[in-house]
C-alpha cells in the first residue's frame, strides 16, 4: 500500500500576483490530502474520496479531454494520468482512497493538494521518479485543463516545497523559493467565513485577462515589470504592482519579527484586494474587521477571494482572546457560522513512511 500526503496552503500575503510573474508569501499548513493506493491488474484507475460523492473510474492512460469526466472532481485525475503516460509503455492501474482535512471551497487549496498527491501517487505506482518542480507544474497543468481556470503556480509550489516552521517567499517568475522563519511569537489563524468559494464560478479568469491586457498596453510581458507610475490609473494592475511591494516588505518585517508591521501590510493588502481588485465580499470584510478590532496584528482575505477564508496574524499567547470575540461578532453580524483554525507550517508533499 502506497501512502502519499500533500498539504493545503494559506497565503499570508501576495494574492493575484502569481499569474503575473509576481511575488507571494504562502505556507504549507497542517491540513492535508492523503491518498492510499495499490496497483490493480486491469489497467483502470479507480478513485474514491471520503469528502465528495461518486467514484472516478478511468483508463490508466487518462483521457484527452478531462472535462468529460464525471464526477467532476475526477477531472484533474484524468489530466494527470494523460500527462504522465509514456508512449510505448502500458500505464499501471490502481485503486486509490482519498481522505482530506483541507476544507473544501475555503481558499486553502484543497484542489491543488489533491492534484499534487495524485501526481506523486501516479508516478510512484508507475515506478517513475519526477523532480519536485515537475510535480508542481504537472499538477498545475492538470488543474487548469480540468477546470478551465487559469490558476497560477503558487498553490502547487507551496504544497510541494513547504517547509516546517517557515513561510515561502516565492518568485513566480523564476519559481525560486526562500524559506522565511515564522517567529514563535506569531500564530497564524485561518477563519472560514461560512461562504464557499468556487473559482470556476467567479470572476477569477476575468481578472487575469484584465491584468494581461494591462501588461499588453504597457508593452511588457507581465505586470511584474510595471511601476506604480505605470499603473496609477488602472486599479487591477495597481493592486498587482503594490502587492508585490507589500510581499517584499512583509518578508523583511517577518525576518525582523516586526509583527506589527506585518499586520499593517496585511490590512493594506486586504484593502487593495477589496477596493482595487474587487475580489472581497461583505462577509470577508466583516470578518477581517472583527479580527483586527479584536487585537490581531492584521488580517486579510486569503486565496482568490469571492468567499472562503480570512487569515490573521495573532500573538501566540493571545489566540483565544482575539479569535473568540471576533468569531462572536462576525456570527452576530452575518448570521453565518465561522470556523477558526490555528495552523502550523509543515513540510511539503511526499510519500508517507
Active site residues: 155
Per-residue burial over 54-76, b = 16 or more CB atoms within 10 Å of its CB, e = otherwise: eebebbbbbbeebeebeeebbbb
Residue among 38, 37, 17, 39 nearest 26 (CA):
17
Task: Assess contact for 36 and 96: CB atoms under 8 A.
Answer: yes
C-alpha cell of 80? 494527470
Which residues does 102 contact at the CB level (< 8 Å), separation at least 6?
Answer: 7, 8, 31, 32, 33, 108, 109, 110, 113
Q: What is the residue whose three cell numbers read 517567529?
A: 183
C-alpha distances in Å from residue 102, one per residue of 114, 180, 268: 10, 23, 27
Beta strands in the chain (DSSP E): 2-13, 23-40, 44-49, 55-59, 93-100, 166-171, 176-181, 186-192, 298-302, 309-315, 339-343, 350-351
Per-residue burial over 283-303, b = 16 or more CB atoms within 10 Å of its CB, e = otherwise: bbbbbbbbbbebebbbbbbbb
The one-character DSSP state at 219 is T
Amino acid at each position: 500500500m502506497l501512502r502519499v500526503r500533500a498539504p493545503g496552503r494559506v497565503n499570508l500575503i501576495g494574492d493575484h500576483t502569481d499569474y503575473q510573474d509576481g511575488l507571494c508569501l504562502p505556507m504549507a499548513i497542517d491540513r492535508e490530502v492523503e491518498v492510499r493506493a495499490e496497483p490493480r491488474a486491469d489497467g483502470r484507475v479507480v478513485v474514491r474520496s471520503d469528502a465528495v460523492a461518486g467514484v472516478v473510474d478511468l483508463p490508466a492512460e487518462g483521457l484527452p479531454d478531462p472535462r468529460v469526466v464525471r464526477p467532476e472532481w475526477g477531472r484533474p485525475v484524468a489530466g494527470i494520468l494523460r500527462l504522465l503516460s509514456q508512449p510505448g509503455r502500458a500505464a499501471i492501474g490502481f485503486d486509490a482512497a482519498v481522505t482530506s482535512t483541507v476544507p473544501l471551497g475555503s481558499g486553502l487549496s484543497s484542489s491543488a493538494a489533491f492534484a499534487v498527491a495524485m501526481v506523486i501517487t501516479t508516478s510512484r505506482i508507475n515506478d517513475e521518479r519526477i523532480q519536485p518542480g515537475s510535480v508542481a507544474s504537472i499538477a498545475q497543468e492538470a488543474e487548469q485543463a480540468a477546470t478551465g481556470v487559469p490558476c497560477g503556480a503558487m498553490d502547487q509550489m507551496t504544497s510541494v516545497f513547504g517547509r516546517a516552521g517557515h513561510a515561502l517567499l516565492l518568485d513566480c517568475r523564476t519559481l525560486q523559493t526562500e524559506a522565511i522563519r515564522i517567529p514563535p511569537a506569531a500564530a497564524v489563524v485561518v477563519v472560514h467565513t461560512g461562504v464557499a468559494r468556487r473559482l470556476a464560478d467567479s470572476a477569477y479568469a476575468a481578472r487575469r485577462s484584465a491584468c494581461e491586457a494591462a501588461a499588453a498596453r504597457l508593452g511588457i510581458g507581465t505586470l511584474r515589470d510595471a511601476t506604480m507610475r505605470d499603473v496609477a490609473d488602472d486599479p487591477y494592475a495597481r493592486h498587482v504592482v503594490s502587492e508585490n511591494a507589500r510581499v517584499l516588505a512583509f518578508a523583511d518585517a517577518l525576518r525582523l519579527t516586526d509583527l506589527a508591521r506585518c499586520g499593517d501590510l496585511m490590512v493594506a493588502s486586504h484593502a487593495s484586494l477589496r477596493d482595487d481588485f474587487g475580489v472581497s465580499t461583505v462577509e470577508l470584510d466583516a470578518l477581517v474587521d472583527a479580527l483586527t478590532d479584536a487585537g490581531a496584528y492584521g488580517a486579510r482575505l486569503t486565496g482568490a477571494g469571492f468567499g472562503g477564508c480570512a487569515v490573521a496574524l495573532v500573538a501566540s499567547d493571545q489566540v483565544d482572546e482575539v479569535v473568540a470575540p471576533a468569531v462572536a461578532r462576525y456570527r452576530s453580524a452575518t448570521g453565518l457560522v465561522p470556523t477558526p483554525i490555528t495552523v502550523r507550517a509543515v513540510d511539503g508533499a511526499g510519500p508517507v513512511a
